[in-house]
Structure 1
Amino acid sequence: MLELVFKINKQNEEALGAVRCIDGLKLAMDGPFLWLRGILFSETMDIRLRSLPVLQSYLVNENGLLFVPGHTTPTDKLPALDWQPLKDYLQVELPMSSLPGKLDGKIPFQLVPSEDQRKSIALLTSLHQWKQYAASAPAVRLQVLRFAVSENDEVLIMGAPLPPIPGKEYWSIHDLLIPSGLEPAIGIAAKFFADKMNPDRSLYLLFLPDKGWQQLEKTSFLPAKRSGIRLSGVSGSTSEQ
């Protein structure tokens, strides 16, 4: 069976996440382009491959000559490139965001039940729930969100509106993320705590009832793009274009 190769703009590499799990695919970089091979030419070719933003597709023979499908005269020769499994390329080039997993301290002030309704801006949920939602969510709902993934497959999602999936919601004050339904017993204590533990406001401080709090680098959060979400947690990697 003949082999197809695809030529793709490197700026569209995010789309390759959709075919990462197809066995046998190899990729090579060629300046501003990417070449994808290992595709068997067939009328029943996987719909995920058919959906890629391909600049040009070619049939390649045993001598590396490239033919436009339907033509018998070669138009070019496949460049001598450094090929690697697509899975390896995506693991290096598209790392997932990282949510720290250890507790960094004990809550130095008390959180108490609150009767006030505050707008939730963050959701702590499972990676499974997040992937399931993102697989079919409209792009307009994802583009307003950012996320970070932990080593134990928990996900913190930030933005508005938050996705309608199970999880723990949080509201924010001075970059402290406080569980919805709770508030500091003394309101001004929130600012004192933030000034001491996060003076340059480069962090989010996530409060976990009865467990303490975590420091989260703001740079750990990535845009909620479907390919990045799909690859989260793959091969133990936790940190999309």
Structure 2
Amino acid sequence: MEKDAGGSIVYFLSIPQAYKNDLARIRQWTNLKAGFDENIIWIRDLNYQQVYSTEVRSIPFATAYYEKGNQLYLLDRKLPERNVPGLLWTPIDRALPVKLPSLNHNYFGIHDTISITMVPSDRETDAVAMIVSLDVLSHYIENAPAVRLEKIRWAVLGSNQAFLLGTPLLPIPGTTVWSRKDLLFPTGYDFELHSVSDVIQKKINPGRDSWILWDTDNSYQLISKESLVPLSRSSFRVTITNPLQQS
């Protein structure tokens, strides 16, 4: 079928009840509605980007359809497969309420465990920070106009990297990150189970006095908000000369 450039086509998804938990990866899309038909869960109102997203493609045994004239067609097929099911449609977050287990990511000190996994995500996000090498940052700020630095706050990461928070981002190579509350993720990645974000926030950072910077290998580090200082040539020189100042 042709690409739905105008966003006028409605897409559906069917999945066996046995794989209900896998729908957690799309539960945050509040435009979706769910209906139940014996052993099948139906999801409707997906748009083009959603139906072809990594989140949907990774759901086991999911079947995607597009609607035309109250009939459902398999993607890339021109003959109808079945009629739109006559179900009671409920917003997905109400139809599939989250029941969170207790968490233990080797940090929480409680009994039950779940796997906290970073996965590629097609979700569009705005970068709010970046990680760059100190050498690259040093070279840039020596000749950068002050106006390009004034909205950036920064801190040293490890022995050779800097964390830069603020937009617009500096025009230098680095790893960009986006935020959900105080959680920071590499651009293009997110938790496989989005619904654990609030629980992780409360367990790791109950006082909300730090940023939690996640890496693609599922590890994280805390960046104290108080450690961030305005970026300038002078603050960079002082920090590099006296690295313990930011500890």
Could you state the TM-score of these two structures normalised by the residue count of structure 2?
0.51
Alpha-carbon distance in structure 1 between the residues aligned to 2:163 and 2:115: 23
In structure 1, distance between residues paired with 2:125 and 2:107: 25
Secondary structure, counterpart of 1:216 in structure 2 = strand
Query: Corresponding residue for 1:193?
Result: 200
- Indicate the residue corresponding to 1:234 in structure 2: 241
- Pair 1:175–1:236, CA change in 2 (3 A): closer
In the comparison of the two structures, how many residue pairs are matched? 136
Q: Secondary structure at the match of 2:125?
A: coil
The CA deviation string for residues 62-82 of structure 1, in whole angstroms up to 9 with x for no partner, is xxxxxxxxxxxxxxxxxxxxx
1:139 matches 2:146: yes
Query: Which residue of the partner structure matches residue 153 of structure 1?
Result: 160
Alignment equivalent of 1:220, drawn from 206, 215, 227: 227
Q: Which residue of structure 1 lines up, in the alignment, with residue 184 of structure 2?
A: 177
Unaligned runs of 5+ in 2: 1-105, 109-113
Q: Kindly report which structure 2 residues correspond to 1:13-52, keeping only aligned pairs within 5 A, or say none.
A: none
Kept in 2, the 8 Å contact 1:105–1:213? The answer is no
Tell me if structure 1 keeps the 8 A contact 2:133–2:162: yes
Match for residue 129 of structure 2 among 107, 117, 122 = 122
Q: How far does residue 108 in structure 1 lie from its aligned partner after superposition?
A: 5.0
Q: Give the corresponding residue for 1:205.
A: 212
Alignment check: 8 A CA contact 2:116 2:218 kept: no
The gaps in structure 1 that reach 5 residues or longer are 1-103
**Bigger RCO of structures 1 and 2 (CA < 8 A, at least 6 apart):** 1
CA RMSD of aligned residues (A): 2.2
**TM-superposed deviation, 1:150:** 3.0
Partner of 1:111: 118
User: Where has structure 1 moved over 2 Å in runs of 4 or more?
Assistant: 104-108, 235-239
Evaluate the alpha carbon distance shift between residue 108 and residue 195 of structure 1 in structure 2; reply closer, same or farther with a 3 A threshold: farther
Aligned-partner SS, 2:169: coil
Q: Give the Cα separation in 1 of the matches to 2:140 and 2:158.
A: 20
Q: Distance in 1 between matches of 2:244 and 2:226?
A: 17
For residue 194 of structure 2, give the secondary structure of its aligned residue in structure 1.
coil
Alpha-carbon distance in structure 2 between the residues aligned to 1:211 and 1:109: 7
| 1:118-144 Cα deviation digits (max 9, x unpaired) | 111111111111111111111111010
Verify the 8 A CA contact 1:177 1:204 in the aligned structure 2: yes
Alignment partners' CA distance in 2, 1:158 and 1:152: 18
In structure 2, how many angstroms separate the alpha carbons of the residues matched to 1:236 and 1:198?
25
The answer to whether the 8 Å contact 2:117/2:218 transfers is no
Mean Cα displacement is larger for which, 172-181 or 108-117? Answer: 108-117
